[in-house]
């Protein structure tokens, strides 16, 4: 199996090259990423707990799915691919916002990403890929907020960073549907 390459970008998300994914995280280089939030019709968020043997943040709760586009792959295609690969859901995703962050991880890796965030609303039940996630649940945003306040260490750093934007972005997303 060949190494997975990701897209290096500048601060405006313009491609500057490509590099093997692990090297990018070791060097802390800015690269393109996707993040997916799926809500059910009650506006509860579908969370996943990352598989315990993931190369970083294993065993932590996070957004529905995340990952990286392959070179020459659109961010929407990557988001829909990762949603299918990780959660077994084949949904049409809508772009909602973009952000950039530089988060050191506990294992010496760095998540320095220009993220494209996508939403969907669906009542389909996931069929998780156990290599990616070992548990899932739907929770209200209020419940998640209380959990974050009580025990932030049970969530991924990027989820903690982006979660504060989710209630207002979800309200805007719903109004546009």
Question: What angle (nearest 5°) sits at the alpha carbon of residue 13, between those of residues 1 and 20?
Answer: 20
Task: Locate the DSSP E strands across the chain.
Answer: 5-9, 15-20, 31-39, 45-50, 61-62, 65-67, 94-104, 110-121, 133-139
Neighbours of 80 (CB within 10 A): 21
Known catalytic residue at 113: yes
Lookup: tokens for 89 = 């859901």
Distances (CA, A) of 166 to 18, 37, 74, 111, 139: 30, 9, 23, 20, 13
25 annotated binding-site participant: yes
68 annotated binding-site participant: yes
Half-sphere CA count of 68, side-chain side, radius 13 A = 22
The catalytic position among 20, 66, 145, 146 is: 66
Lookup: tokens for 102 = 């530089």
The catalytic position among 113, 143, 146, 147 is: 113
111 annotated binding-site participant: yes
Identify whether the C-beta of residue 94 lies closer than 8 Å to the C-beta of residue 35: no
113 annotated binding-site participant: yes
Known catalytic residue at 66: yes
Which residue is associated with the tokens 């916002």?
97
Cite the active site residues. Answer: 66, 113
User: Can you say which residues are annotated as belonging to the binding site for Mg(2+)?
Assistant: 86
User: Can you say which residues are annotated as belonging to the binding site?
Assistant: 25, 31, 68, 86, 111, 113
User: Can you say which residues are annotated as belonging to the binding site for Mn(2+)?
Assistant: 25, 31, 68, 111, 113
């Amino acid at each position: 199996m060949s190494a997975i390459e990701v897209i290096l970008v500048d601060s405006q998300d313009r491609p500057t090259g490509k590099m093997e994914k692990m090297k990018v995280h070791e060097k802390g280089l800015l690269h393109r990423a996707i993040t997916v939030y799926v809500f059910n019709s009650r506006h509860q968020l579908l969370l996943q707990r990352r598989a315990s043997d993931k190369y970083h943040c294993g065993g932590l709760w996070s957004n529905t799915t995340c990952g990286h586009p392959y070179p020459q792959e659109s961010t929407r295609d990557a988001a829909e691919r990762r949603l299918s690969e990780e959660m077994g859901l084949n949904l049409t995703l809508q772009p909602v916002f973009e952000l950039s962050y530089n988060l050191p991880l506990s294992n010496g890796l760095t998540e320095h990403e220009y993220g494209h965030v996508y939403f969907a609303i669906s009542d389909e039940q996931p069929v998780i890929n156990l290599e990616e996630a070992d548990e899932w649940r739907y929770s209200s945003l209020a419940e998640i907020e209380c959990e974050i306040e009580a025990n932030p260490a049970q969530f991924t750093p990027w989820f903690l960073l982006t979660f504060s934007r989710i209630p207002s972005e979800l309200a805007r997303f719903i109004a546009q549907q």
